[in-house]
């Protein structure tokens, strides 16, 4: 009960920690992305604002060039000023010796004709521009016509008749705020950004004064800095909804908390069901009759043991009860089961506790012994084979006998399945030699077993009058088992290995593609009708990809090891027609 509470609680705490980490990382990432995007916008629109202000300043440069070329005079000032005006320019002015004398447009701007050098508000910065030969900006200040403006003063220097430079005065432009940069600020507002444009109070100050800004106060904004003349400007930007994506954070938090709660629930359910699962696993791996592993359980554990200890020695044992069918037929299946349980009990008592014991099915049993060699187990297995074994029938004990084959890993096998096949070959050899015995696998033993089964009968097949193959009589798995030399020669295959490789061991891959369905249907139709496999004409695929017209004749044979198989003879169709046409024409 304690585990069922603590483990879900631990899962919950770990889940909350994970949620916090994910939310933190997501929030950090979103803020970084948001700041990167905002910085790009600040730079893009900051440069645009800078260019707009510079374009306004260029008006003063135009007037400067006219003054230089006119030796300090500009004829038809109003006409020229009218042509260089724009919607964002409030007025254009000339101030020889620092005194504003000409303003365009004149209407409403009469008050602007002042002595800049001696003016209380404008004097200090104007003198700085004059003495340092630099453009200065001043403002923003309220315009009498409405709105706000920034004054740009460009000091002009000419040369007298002796070539000496002297201060002529200022060319001035008054820029309307925010008209001068309204396109940039409107675009930023449309994209959901707050902004602020500010500049230093004067060239010698580090204090910034806001030129124009949106409604909200900025928090930790990104900025684009630029310089006009000797004055520093700063354009700051931030998203109107802040740097974080609160909606995304909320969705992620709810999602991961829901997953955490689901994991807590599933963990508790898993702990509750684990006890039952262990019971089911034992049942799934155990033979209910004998109490030892069934085939599935034995194979799984044997595979794990060998894979975990690939350099260790193992001995695999296969054994079965001799004439077990006789016991079932004479005494009944109940007493056959008693014999099986008796044998399993003998195995448990005789072999060490770390031996893996299993029942393959029927009367066949299997054993895996770790860290044993042939020499280690030879005498022990012989003793077990010959030890008396009995089952009880109507109060009397009746003896039964076993046959046993065994093989060694890695001497004769590289994996579990190969090891078991070798042990099976040794067991079958014992059966062929009269049963009730014990034998170790040795090289070549498997080949002799196949001779007994009828699949390595070279002394017969190589002298058959025709090409010959054997394959499994199964619609879904027509596996090739054997081909004699005459068939390999006729079809152009170097050897059995090349035949198996090019056909993928399938008989159907020997039939031309467009004939497969028809030929296979014809074969099975004859079989299903009880006619065996009569003569069938088709095109046989050769090793080089060409096709040979052949006639085949087959029969189904029952094999003890492979079940139903086809024995098939082939004849060259063209050679046969030519031979018989000559014979009968003669």
Same domain, 342 and 433: yes
Q: Is residue 531 part of a domain?
A: yes
CA 401 – CA 321 distance, rounded (Å): 6
In this structure, are residues 60 and 89 in contact, taking their beta carbons and an 8 Å threshold? no
Give the pairing type, strands 314-321 and 222-228: unpaired
Same domain, 101 and 40: yes
Asked which of 395, 421, 451 is the last residue of a domain, the reply is: 451
Asked which of 411, 428, 451 is the last residue of a domain, the reply is: 451
Same domain, 123 and 64: yes
Q: Which residues contact 532 (CB under 8 A, 6 or more apart)?
A: 526, 554, 555, 556
Same domain, 445 and 461: no
Structure tokens at 468: 């010959």
Same domain, 93 and 187: yes
Q: Is residue 580 part of a domain?
A: yes
Q: Which residues contact 361 (CB under 8 A, 6 or more apart)?
A: 294, 295
On the question of pLDDT at 101 being above 60, the answer is yes
On the question of pLDDT at 386 being above 90, the answer is yes
Structure tokens at 298: 């034995």
Residue 456 — pLDDT band, cuts 50, 70, 90?
very low
Instruction: Say which CATH number the domain at 80 has.
Output: 3.30.450.20
On the question of pLDDT at 279 being above 80, the answer is no
- CA contacts within 13 A on the Cβ side of 294: 12
Is the model more confident about 521 or about 221? 221
Q: Which long-range CB contacts under 8 A does 269-274 form with residues at least 24 apart? A: 271/3, 271/4, 271/7, 271/8, 272/4
Q: Is residue 269 part of a domain?
A: no
Q: Is residue 279 part of a domain?
A: no
Same domain, 531 and 384: no
Structure tokens at 315: 């001995």
Instruction: Say which CATH number the domain at 434 has.
Output: 3.30.70.270
What is the residue range of 101's domain? 11-239
Q: Is residue 256 part of a domain?
A: no
Q: How many CB atoms neighbour CB 248 within 10 A?
A: 13
Same domain, 484 and 406: no
Stated pTM of the model: 0.45
Give me the percent of the chain exceeding a pLDDT of 90.
48
Same domain, 179 and 323: no
Q: In this predicted structure, what is the pLDDT of residue 582?
A: 58
Give the number of domains in the chain. Answer: 3
Q: Is residue 349 part of a domain?
A: yes
In this structure, are residues 218 and 202 in contact, taking their beta carbons and an 8 Å threshold? no
How high does pLDDT run on average in the chain? 86
On the question of pLDDT at 326 being above 90, the answer is no
E strands, 148-266, are 148-159, 165-177, 193-200, 208-213, 222-228, 231-239
Structure tokens at 89: 């320019």
Same domain, 442 and 474: no
Q: If you average pLDDT over residues 486-512, what whole number do you get?
A: 90
């Amino acid at each position: 009960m304690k585990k069922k509470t603590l483990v879900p609680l631990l899962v919950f705490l770990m889940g909350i920690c994970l949620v916090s980490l994910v939310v933190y990382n997501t929030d950090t990432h979103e803020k970084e992305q948001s700041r990167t995007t905002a910085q790009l916008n600040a730079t893009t629109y900051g440069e645009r604002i800078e260019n707009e202000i510079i374009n306004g300043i260029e008006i003063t440069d135009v007037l400067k060039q006219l003054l230089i070329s006119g030796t300090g005079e500009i004829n038809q000032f109003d006409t020229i000023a009218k042509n260089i005006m724009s919607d964002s320019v409030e007025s254009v002015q000339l101030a020889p010796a620092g005194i504003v004398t000409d303003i365009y447009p004149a209407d409403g701007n009469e008050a602007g004709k002042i002595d800049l050098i001696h003016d209380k508000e404008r004097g200090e910065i104007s003198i700085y521009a004059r003495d340092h030969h630099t453009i200065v900006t001043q403002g923003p200040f309220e315009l009498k016509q409405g709105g706000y403006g920034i004054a740009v003063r460009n000091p002009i220097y000419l040369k007298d008749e002796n070539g000496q430079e002297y201060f002529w005065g200022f060319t001035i432009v008054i820029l309307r705020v925010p008209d001068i940069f309204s396109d940039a600020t409107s675009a930023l507002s449309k994209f959901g950004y707050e902004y602020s444009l500010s500049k230093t109070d004067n060239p010698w100050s580090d204090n910034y004064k806001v030129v124009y800004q949106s409604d909200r106060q900025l928090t930790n904004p990104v900025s684009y800095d630029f310089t006009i003349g000797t004055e520093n400007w700063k354009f700051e930007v931030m998203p109107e909804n802040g740097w974080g994506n609160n909606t995304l954070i909320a969705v992620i938090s709810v999602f991961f908390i829901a997953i955490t709660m689901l994991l807590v629930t599933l963990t508790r359910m898993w702990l509750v069901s684990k006890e039952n699962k262990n019971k089911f696993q034992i049942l799934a791996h155990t033979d209910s009759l004998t109490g030892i592993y069934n085939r599935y359980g034995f194979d799984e554990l044997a595979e794990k043991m060998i894979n975990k200890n690939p350099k260790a020695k193992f001995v695999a044992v296969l054994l079965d009860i001799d004439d077990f069918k006789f016991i079932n037929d004479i005494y009944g299946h109940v007493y056959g089961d008693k014999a099986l349980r008796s044998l399993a009990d003998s195995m448990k008592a005789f072999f060490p506790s770390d031996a893996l014991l299993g029942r393959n099915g029927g009367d066949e049993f299997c054993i895996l012994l770790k860290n044993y060699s042939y020499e280690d187990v030879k005498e022990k297995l012989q003793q077990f084979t010959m030890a008396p074994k009995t089952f009880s029938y109507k109060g009397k004990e009746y003896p039964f006998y076993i046959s046993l084959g065994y093989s060694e890993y890695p001497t004769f096998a590289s994996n579990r399945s190969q090891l078991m096949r070798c042990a099976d070959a040794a067991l079958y050899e014992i059966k062929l030699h009269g049963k009730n015995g014990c034998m170790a696998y040795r090289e070549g033993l498997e080949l002799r077993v196949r001779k007994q089964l009828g699949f390595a009968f070279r002394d017969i097949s190589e002298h058959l009058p025709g090409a010959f193959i054997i394959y499994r009589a199964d619609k879904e798995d027509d596996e090739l088992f054997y081909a004699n030399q005459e068939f390999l020669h006729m079809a152009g295959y170097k050897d059995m290995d090349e035949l198996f490789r090019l056909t993928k061991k399938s008989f159907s891959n020997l039939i031309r593609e467009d004939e497969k369905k028809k030929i296979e249907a014809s074969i099975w139709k004859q079989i299903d009708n009880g006619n065996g496999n009569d003569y069938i004409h088709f095109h046989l695929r050769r090793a080089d990809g060409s096709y040979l017209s052949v006639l085949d004749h087959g029969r189904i044979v029952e094999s003890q090891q492979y079940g139903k198989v086809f024995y098939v003879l082939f004849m060259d169709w063209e050679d046969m027609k030519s031979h018989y046409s000559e014979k009968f024409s003669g």
